[in-house]
C-alpha cells in the first residue's frame, strides 16, 4: 500500500466555514482528517498552502458570497503560486465539477460525504491535477473521527448526531446536497460528550437536520437523556426539530432534566395552511400551535425560536397576514427570517412558479422582521428583575469590564465581570434589556 498522500514537509490548511452549525461541525471533522494525514491547521490565509471553503447552498445569496470570496482569493494566489483553493460542502455537492469550470482558481471540489478522501485529493492537487469527489453515502456519519475543535471557546461544542435529510420540503436543496438521513451510534455520541465534559466543556449542542427523527439503537429522547445524565453540570442543547415529529416523550425527558436547555428551535416556515401544504411541511398551523402549547405546558419557561420564509410560490397577502398572525400568537423569542430563494433541482423548481416579485418579497420580509423585533423587545422587558443561571462564555464585545453568557433559554446576558470566570455558572439578575440582549448584574 502506498501512502503518498501523507505529507512529509508540514503543509498548512486554512478552513473557512459558511452556513449552518452543521457546517461548522463538519469543518472540525475535516480538520481532524487532515491533521491525521500530517497537515497543520493555520489561523490565517497568509500561512496556508490549501484554503478549504466549506460552503452552504441553501439560498442563492449564500452561494454568491462564496463565489465572491473565491474570486477575491485570486489576488493572493497570484502572489503565492503554490496556494490552492478547494470548495467543500453543500455548494460543492450541488455544482460538482461545474464549479471548477466556472471558477478557474478552484482546484478541488469535495461533497459532504467525501471528506475522508481529502488527503488523497490534496496529494493529487499537489501533483497538478484538479479533482472532484461528490459521491453521497447512505452510511457515512464520521462517527469514529474525533473532531479537532476549531476556534472554540473551550466551553461549548457541537456534536453532530445524524446527517442528511429526506423530508423534501418543496423549496429546500438540503436533501440533494446532504443525501439520505442516517444516525450515528449513541455510544460514540455519549463518549464524545463525556470526553468534552472531562476536558472542561460545559455545553454540547446535538446537531442534525431533524434531530427528532434520530433513529439508531435508541431514539432521540433516549439519546438526549443519556447525554444529559453524564453530569448535571453539562448543558445540553439540540437543533433542529421538525414540528411534525416533536414528541411528548422528548418534552417529558426535557422537563425531567434541568440541564437540557429550555429552548426549542421549531421552524414554522409559514403561518398559512395552504403554503404549508405547498411546501410539503406535513403539518398544519393548528398542529403547530398544539405543539407550542404542549411545550409551554411541560416547560412554561421554555423559549421558542423559528425559521420563516417570505414570498414562497403563489403566497398571497392573506397567506402573508396569516404568518404575521401566527407570530403574534406564538410570540417567538427569536426568528431567522428569509426571502424565498428558488433552488435548482427542488420540487418547487420543477413544479412551482417563483412568482412573487423581489420588491414584494422584501416588503413582506421587512414586515415580519419589524413585528418580530417588537415581540422580542416586549418578551425581554418581562425579564427585568428575574434571576438566571448563566454559563459564562467570555468577554463582552463592547467592554473588557463586562462578560457575557447565556441562560438556559439561550438568551445572551451581559454583566460587569466582578469575580466571574468563563466556563463557570453564575446567577445574574436582569436590570435592563434590548431586543437582543439582557443586561444584568452578578448575584453574589
Residues in the site for ligand 5AD, rule: CB under 6 A? 58-59, 171-172, 267, 269, 307, 309, 338, 340-341, 343
- By beta-carbon proximity to ligand 5AD, the closer residue of 41 and 309 is 309
Asked if 285 contacts 276 with a C-beta cutoff of 8 angstroms, the reply is yes
**C-alpha–C-alpha distance, residues 136 and 270, integer Å:** 30
End-to-end Cα separation, the chain, in angstroms: 63
Out of ligand SF4, ligand 5AD, none, what residue 115 binds, judged by CB under 5 to 8 A for its kind, is: none
From residue 70, give the alpha-carbon distance in Å to each of 3, 97, 117, 258: 30, 15, 22, 45
| CB nearer to ligand SF4: pick between 23 and 379 | 23
Helix (H) or strand (E) holding 30: helix 21-36
d(CA 280, CA 242): 12
Cβ nearer to ligand SF4, comparing 180 with 191: 180
CB of 243 to ligand 5AD, least distance (A): 11
Q: How far is the CB of 267 from ligand 5AD (least distance, A)?
A: 4
What Cα–Cα distance (Å) separates residue 90 from each residue in 172, 207, 337?
A: 12, 16, 21
Pick from ligand 5AD, ligand SF4, none: which does 343 bind, CB < 5 to 8 A by kind? ligand 5AD
309 binds, among ligand SF4, ligand 5AD, none (CB under 5 to 8 A by kind): ligand 5AD
Strands 334-339 vs 303-310: parallel, antiparallel or unpaired: parallel
Q: How far is the CB of 364 from ligand SF4 (least distance, A)?
A: 19
Q: How far is the CB of 342 from ligand 5AD (least distance, A)?
A: 7
Rounded distance between C-alpha atoms, residue 178 and residue 168, angstroms: 12
Considering the complex, what minimum distance in angstroms separates the CB of residue 180 from ligand SF4?
Answer: 11
The item of ligand SF4, ligand 5AD, none sharing an interface with residue 209, based on CB under 5 to 8 Å by kind, is ligand SF4
For residues 179 and 202, what is the distance between their CA atoms, to the nearest angstrom? Answer: 32
User: CB of residue 307 vs ligand 5AD: minimum separation in angstroms?
Assistant: 3
Nearer to ligand SF4, 167 or 441 (CB): 167
Residue of this chain nearest to ligand 5AD (CB atom): 307
Give whichever of 272 and 380 is closer to ligand SF4, judged by the CB atom: 272
Q: Which does 27 bind (CB under 5 to 8 A by kind): ligand SF4, ligand 5AD, none?
A: none
- 3-class secondary structure, 414: strand
Cα separation, 237 vs 304, whole angstroms: 13
Q: How far apart are CA 163 and CA 399, in angstroms?
A: 39
Alpha helical stretches, state H, 111-216: 118-126, 174-178, 186-198
Q: Residues, the chain, total?
A: 444
CA distance 310 to 45: 37
Q: Minimum distance between the CB of residue 150 and ligand 5AD, rounded to whole angstroms?
A: 22
Residues in touch with ligand SF4 (CB under 6 A): 165, 167-169, 172, 174-175, 209-210, 242
Considering the complex, state which of residue 106 and residue 174 has its C-beta at the smaller distance from ligand 5AD: 174
Q: How far is the CB of 140 from ligand 5AD (least distance, A)?
A: 22
Instruction: Report what 183 binds from ligand 5AD, ligand SF4, none; CB cut-off 5-8 Å by kind.
Output: none
Amino acid at each position: 500500500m502506498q501512502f503518498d498522500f501523507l505529507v512529509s514537509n508540514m503543509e498548512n490548511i486554512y478552513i473557512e466555514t459558511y452556513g449552518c452549525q452543521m457546517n461548522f461541525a463538519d469543518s472540525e471533522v475535516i480538520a481532524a482528517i487532515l491533521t491525521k494525514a500530517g497537515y497543520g491547521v493555520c489561523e490565517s490565509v497568509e500561512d496556508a498552502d490549501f484554503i478549504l471553503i466549506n460552503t452552504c447552498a441553501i439560498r442563492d445569496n449564500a452561494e454568491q458570497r462564496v463565489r465572491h470570496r473565491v474570486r477575491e482569493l485570486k489576488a493572493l494566489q497570484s502572489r503565492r503560486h503554490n496556494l490552492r483553493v478547494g470548495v467543500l460542502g453543500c455548494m460543492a455537492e450541488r455544482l460538482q465539477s461545474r464549479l471548477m469550470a466556472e471558477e478557474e482558481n478552484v482546484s478541488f471540489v469535495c461533497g459532504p460525504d467525501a471528506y475522508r478522501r481529502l488527503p488523497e485529493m490534496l496529494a493529487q492537487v499537489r501533483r497538478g491535477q484538479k479533482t472532484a469527489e461528490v459521491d453521497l453515502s447512505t452510511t457515512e456519519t464520521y462517527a469514529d473521527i474525533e473532531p479537532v475543535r476549531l476556534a472554540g471557546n473551550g466551553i461549548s461544542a457541537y456534536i453532530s448526531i445524524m446527517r442528511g435529510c429526506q423530508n423534501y420540503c418543496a423549496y429546500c436543496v438540503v436533501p440533494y446536497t446532504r443525501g439520505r438521513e442516517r444516525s450515528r451510534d449513541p455510544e460514540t455520541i455519549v463518549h464524545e460528550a463525556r470526553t468534552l465534559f472531562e476536558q472542561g466543556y460545559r455545553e454540547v449542542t446535538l446537531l442534525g437536520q431533524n434531530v427528532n427523527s434520530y433513529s439508531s439503537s435508541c431514539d432521540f429522547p433516549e439519546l438526549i437523556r443519556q447525554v444529559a445524565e453524564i453530569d448535571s453540570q453539562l448543558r445540553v442543547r439540540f437543533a433542529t426539530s421538525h414540528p411534525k415529529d416533536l414528541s411528548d416523550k422528548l418534552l417529558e425527558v426535557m422537563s425531567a432534566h434541568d440541564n437540557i436547555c429550555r429552548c426549542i428551535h421549531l421552524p414554522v416556515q409559514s403561518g398559512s395552511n395552504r403554503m404549508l401544504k405547498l411546501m410539503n411541511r406535513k403539518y398544519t398551523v393548528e398542529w403547530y400551535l398544539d405543539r407550542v402549547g404542549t411545550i409551554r405546558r411541560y416547560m412554561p419557561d421554555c423559549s421558542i425560536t423559528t425559521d420563516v420564509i417570505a414570498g414562497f410560490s403563489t403566497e398571497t397577502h392573506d397567506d402573508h397576514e396569516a404568518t404575521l398572525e401566527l407570530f403574534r400568537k406564538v410570540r417567538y423569542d427569536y426568528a431567522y427570517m428569509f426571502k424565498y430563494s428558488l433552488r435548482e433541482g427542488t420540487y418547487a423548481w420543477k413544479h412551482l412558479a417563483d412568482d412573487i416579485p423581489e420588491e414584494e418579497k422584501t416588503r413582506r420580509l421587512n414586515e415580519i422582521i419589524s413585528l418580530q423585533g417588537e415581540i422580542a423587545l416586549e418578551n425581554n422587558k418581562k425579564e427585568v428583575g428575574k434571576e438566571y443561571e448563566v454559563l459564562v462564555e467570555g468577554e463582552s464585545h463592547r467592554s473588557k469590564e463586562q462578560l457575557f453568557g447565556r441562560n438556559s433559554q439561550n438568551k445572551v446576558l451581559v454583566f460587569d465581570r466582578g469575580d466571574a470566570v468563563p466556563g463557570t455558572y453564575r446567577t445574574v439578575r436582569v436590570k435592563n434589556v434590548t431586543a437582543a440582549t439582557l443586561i444584568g448584574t452578578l448575584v453574589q
